[in-house]
A = this chain, B = another copy of it.
Amino acid sequence: MNNADDNIASPRTKPLTARELARLMGVSQSAVSRAFTPGSSISPELRQRILKAAGELDYQPNAIASMLSTRRSNIAGIVVSEMQNPFYPTLIEKLSRGLQRVRLQSLMFNITRGSNIEEQLVALRQYNVDAVIIISATVLSGASVQWATDGRAAVLVNRTIPDLPLTSVSCDNVEGARAIADHFHALGRHRVSYVAGLPHTSTNLERQNAFVTRVAELGMRLIHSVAAGEYSYEAGHRAALEIARGEKTDAIFFANDILAAGGMDALRESAGLRVPEDVAVAGFDDVALARWPHYSLTTFRQPIDAIVEKTVSSVTQQLETPSLPPSRNPISGELIIRHSTVAEWLPEIIE
């Protein structure tokens, strides 16, 4: 039992290094490095030999060391705050996959509202992320974002920050809000209302302004315009009750689907109104529950795949061309009409 250690699962095995592998093979460390670097100057034979040996000896390059040398981390920092709205998990999931496709891992930064945000952004710089993708709707100061993103690829998804020239990719909120207003108008609803979520976010401002403007253009009356305060079911519920207690309205546009869901339940179950007969309801996003037969919610679909694709391509372009000027990229969405505005529309059979 002289070599007892050999039999024990060895948690401490130091990973093989390029130098060691090189020594074992009688080649130089550079050769090993080149074997793993596409496009580097090495003969196909040697590369194959090294990759084969690497496979057998379970060598893989240490990404940390490589980051230090190249000053590229191959990491994208994703700044996130509200995971409650199911739209975001879906977005993040797809985004993270999209980034993996271009060899970027996703480092998540969960911003907690109220806590010291600057402090949380320090890590973005410390970890030397190549790209910063800001999804959080939470208000971030332009200065801190500028500082955090300084010199890196950066994309704001579904939001903008005043006075900060950064590339942004968003669903076309103006198009969406106008489409809803047009739809209400086409339905013959003329006494419409709007329910905001977080009032000061760029997303909300765009939707609200576009909706209100279009409503006026079409000669409809805006009966209520309330702020729910947050993007939650409960907030939508409260807002709907408040509206139901006031002057009669025949169509409500909620700033997103979750608000709309809470609102519909309140209208139907607490206010005793029929949706869509008494009041039509529309949301925004087209999250999964909008398709549920119970809600069957008319909504403006955010084209997640297109948003992800544009975000990823913008990141890669910025990485290739650091001087690329910022751009705004509104992505066209699609009005999805369902039962919550059109009684004749019957919920899809769920297959």
Contact = CB atoms under 8 A, between A and B. Distances in A.
A123 B108 contact: no
Range of interface residues on A (Cβ < 8 Å) = 35 or more
A343 interface: no
Given A262-B292, A292-B262, A126 B73 contact: no
Nearest to A149: B11
Given A15-B125, A84-B90, A233-B288, A64 B73 contact: yes
A151 B11 contact: yes
Contacts of A293: 237, 265, 269-270
Interface stretch (A38-46, A55-63, A172-180): A55-63
A105 B127 contact: yes
Interface in A296-351: 322-323, 350-351
B150 A62 contact: no
A288 B84 contact: yes
A89 interface: yes
Nearest to A269: B293
B269 A322 contact: no
Residue from the set A68, A83, A150 with the largest chain B CB neighbour count within 10 Å: A83
A187 interface: no
Contacts of A11: 150-151, 322-323
A11 B153 CA distance: 10
A108 B110 contact: no
Nearest to A234: B350
Interface in A91-123: 92-93, 96-97, 100, 105-110, 112, 120, 122-123
Nearest to A78: B108
Interface of A: 9-13, 15, 60-65, 67-68, 73, 75, 83-84, 86, 88-90, 92-93, 96-97, 100, 105-110, 112, 120, 122-123, 125-128, 146, 150-151, 233-234, 237-238, 261-262, 265-266, 269-270, 288-289, 292-294, 322-323, 350-351
Given A62-B68, A62-B126, 16 more contacts: A9-B146, A11-B323, A12-B322, A65-B68, A83-B90, A83-B93, A84-B90, A96-B110, A105-B123, A107-B108, A234-B350, A237-B293, A262-B350, A265-B294, A266-B350, A269-B294
**Closest 8 CB pairs between A and B?**
A11-B151, A83-B89, A63-B126, A89-B89, A83-B93, A96-B110, A265-B294, A64-B67
